[in-house]
Structure 1
């Protein structure tokens, strides 16, 4: 039986050139796949690399947050690619994404954030940060299952976004550290969740 010619040869492309083009294509394809690779946590997908406003971020870790008997949300923590070690309370560009399994009211987010920051900072530092924190808390919106908050510090500005929509921005690095510290500091909401986000487990 006569076998049809390779498509490249059928168009008159020399065999050595066709082989070179095929090799280049096979080399290029994995790079494209890696650029869109994801990880999955309880059915929720997180990109292993992303870019926002010209700043690149790569995944450090991901995990599941449980509250008592409930599976509350899943999260992923990112840093700029040049930051090789986790540094969630530093000046490096970083990003935290949280996707929720249950409905939560905006007022509950604000109250929990306020209480968590106060507990970790103490009264004096909390008082200094309070105006900036109040402005941040007013930006919260209620969420339904499947909604995702993202908290990003790009090295110059803090951004809170819900499902990709910016709700609040600030240039206060102390506010950024206080907020990231809720999940990623020395006294996080849960040690196991922090360690998962920082790639320690």
Structure 2
């Protein structure tokens, strides 16, 4: 009985943080005149419910930095949702994660960028796709189903803080982040 309980507990832990590779994304994305290549994708599920599928794209001509959040490194995320999420829920979750993982003095210095990003957020239904990306020449952009919601330049550190919700210390899903970053680190570009 005790060993069966351990197996079930372990299975639940694996299912709660499952990162499964899916194939719903193209091999490249083009933003303006810049083409970026897919280097990673991952699925975030709770039990058997798909929450998000995410694909990470970078410019293969770039020199890979130690941290993907470096300001001179272009990166593009596409996030497809398997569940509906309200704009209010996105904002609350984003702000809560940032407060939990970043020092208040850092957040205070970049409050305008964070507030601007949160103001762009809209609710999603299953199948909707957000794109959030940083291009050094253009800044941070958020789009929903290919419709731009806003762009922000002039605060690369603020953009990195926002991108940390997927690729850094404030990640919504640490397992999904780790899977994306591991694939990115090992990708031959």
- Aligned-residue CA RMSD (Å): 2.2
Aligned to 1:163: 145
Where structure 2 has 5 or more consecutive residues not aligned to the other structure, the ranges are 1-19
TM-score (norm 2): 0.77
CA distance in 2: counterparts of 1:175 and 1:129, whole angstroms: 5
Where structure 1 has 5 or more consecutive residues not aligned to the other structure, the ranges are 1-39
Moved more, 79-88 or 109-118: 79-88
The offset of 1:120, in angstroms, is 2.0
Which of 50, 68, 72 lines up with 1:71 in the alignment? 50
CA contact 1:75–1:96 (8 Å) conserved in 2: yes
Which is higher, the Rg of structure 1 or of structure 2? 1
Aligned to 1:180: 163
Deviations 1:67-106 (A, max 9, x none): 4664211100111111353742112111011000111100
The offset of 1:151, in angstroms, is 0.4
CA distance in 2: counterparts of 1:68 and 1:130, whole angstroms: 35
Deviation beyond 6 Å, 4+ runs, structure 1:
none
Which of 108, 118, 123 lines up with 1:142 in the alignment? 123
CA contact 2:133–2:141 (8 Å) conserved in 1: yes
Aligned to 1:109: 90
CA distance in 2: counterparts of 1:85 and 1:132, whole angstroms: 25
TM-score (norm 1): 0.72
The offset of 1:188, in angstroms, is 3.0
CA distance in 1: counterparts of 2:63 and 2:171, whole angstroms: 22
Aligned residue pairs: how many?
Answer: 161
